[in-house]
A and B are shown apart, each in its own frame.
Chain A
Amino acid sequence: MSILKSGGRNPKLCSSFLCLSLSVVAVLALGSVCSAQELPYFVTYSANMEEPGNLEIATKSAIGKPPDGNRFIGASLEFEYGAKAWWTTEFYLDGATVAQDSTIFTGFRWENRFRPLAREHWINPVLYVEFENINGANKSLLEVVGHDGAADFVEGNAGGRQEKEREIELKLILSSNFKGWNVSENIIAEKNLSNNPWEFGYAIGASRPLRLAASPRKCVFCAQKFAAGVEIYGGLGDRSSFGLHNTSQYLGPTMNWTSPSGWTLSFSPQFGLNDYSVPRLYRFGVSYEISQVFEKTRALFRRGEKQ
């Protein structure tokens, strides 16, 4: 990390982040924890929805170095809320740091996931719609579509931030649970709201907890607290040039551990499968789930009124 210099900071942005951090700490102190039993995916979505009333706060980071560019970290801070059992809404703030360059805020995303079927099936569909307002310096790599490639990460932050990307993204999420395994497939279509063609991508993940039955004792590092799997994802070109030609593709193992206090730590080394991809990506994630966050906030205010 020491090789990364963060320059060009905006004092207003820093004070906003300070406020945000304090708010997060307040909410963490307020809510009670629940073990989230997360799947270890970074890009692939499953049909699992956030439990209604719960708020998950998570960070996801991708570290990489394009062949002709500087090392970068793309990071996202995400707030995922279970609005209903069939509707999960999520808000992201993205940022990027480039070695020998700067750290900047790169935009926001708002996504919604809807589970259209009330029952569990062999394959469970979820519909996903997202609005992104990001810029060309974004490096969070939350999906790969079209002809996204290593060359996109070579340009510095100053140049990249000039390029506005207001996009709508649709996903069809298909997910199956069988004998402890989860297998999820995502089909992605993304449209820049300026006059650009639809771009396509995919993500596939499979994972399983290391132990299926729960232990009768509280444990920290027992096998049931770990999940491992594999993830593959990449672009599929665009409307005028659909296919794998000139697209980046990634594959890697992925794993996570959920602590008894409710934190989930995830890690995945991922490998570019062709020259168009960043050769190696290291992904880290930390998440924390707060149960029934608004009920607890209301209870806190009611208690305050009584006093």
Chain B
Amino acid sequence: MNFKIAFTILLTISAGGILAAAGSDWLNQVPPREQQKTNPFHDQPQAIQAGRLLFKDHCAQCHGDNAQGMNKRPSLRSGRLQSASQGSLHWLLVNGSVRRGMPSWSKLPDQQLWQLVAYLKSLKVEE
């Protein structure tokens, strides 16, 4: 009987998690205030280089070494992503797109997230 209770609790929490994780296209969800945020490291070569190393550590495993995308994970060199504001990219890193498999990177300090954004913005567009 106790095992049934434990199993029911596990199942209920799992179902709640699935329902709560619903979401849609991330770019439409970025609040205007976040879109307008500016990158304190914008166009700084050292920040871009630091961002490249961070990308290799945290992002390349899913998006590929050159950010070209792999295994159904999107390219970060797409025109759509490159036309997004730096604030929007920062918002995406902070929040992730949990339903679509992109985790939140809020565990990284804000400075490192902006360094990553500086690197992403330095990538050439490849459609």
* A residues apposed to B, CB below 8 Å: 32, 34-35, 37, 39, 46, 48-49, 51-54, 82, 84-87, 112, 114-120, 124, 127, 129, 131, 168, 170, 177, 179-180, 182, 193-194, 209, 212-218, 291-292, 295
Contacts and interface: CB of A to CB of B under 8 A. Distances in A.
Indicate the member of B51, B109, B115 with the most A CB atoms within 10 Å.
B109
Contacts of B46: 216
Given A85-B96, A116-B21, A127-B17, 20 more contacts: A34-B57, A34-B61, A37-B58, A39-B107, A51-B62, A82-B103, A85-B21, A86-B21, A87-B14, A115-B17, A115-B98, A118-B22, A118-B23, A129-B13, A168-B5, A193-B3, A214-B50, A214-B115, A216-B50, A295-B71
Given A86-B17, A295-B71, A213 B50 contact: yes
Given A35-B57, A35-B58, A213-B50, A46 B20 contact: no
Contacts of A115: 17, 21, 98
B51 to A, nearest CB: 8
B61 A54 contact: yes
A56 to B, nearest CB: 13
Contacts of A46: 107
A118 B62 contact: no
Interface string B30-71: 000000000000000011011101100110011000000001
Report, nearest first, the 5 A-B pairs whose CB atoms are least far apart: A114-B17, A291-B61, A216-B49, A213-B111, A212-B109
Contacts of B20: 86, 116-118
A150 B9 CA distance: 32
B98 A85 contact: yes
A51 to B, nearest CB: 5
B98 to A, nearest CB: 4
Interface residues of B, number: 45
B6 A131 contact: yes
19 contacts: A32-B61, A34-B58, A51-B61, A52-B101, A52-B103, A54-B61, A85-B100, A85-B102, A86-B98, A115-B21, A118-B99, A127-B13, A168-B6, A177-B106, A177-B107, A180-B111, A212-B111, A213-B109, A214-B111
A292 B58 contact: no
Indicate the member of A127, A129, A213 with the most B CB atoms within 10 Å.
A213
A41 B98 CA distance: 24
A292 B62 contact: yes
Contacts of B13: 112, 114, 127, 129
Contacts of B71: 292, 295
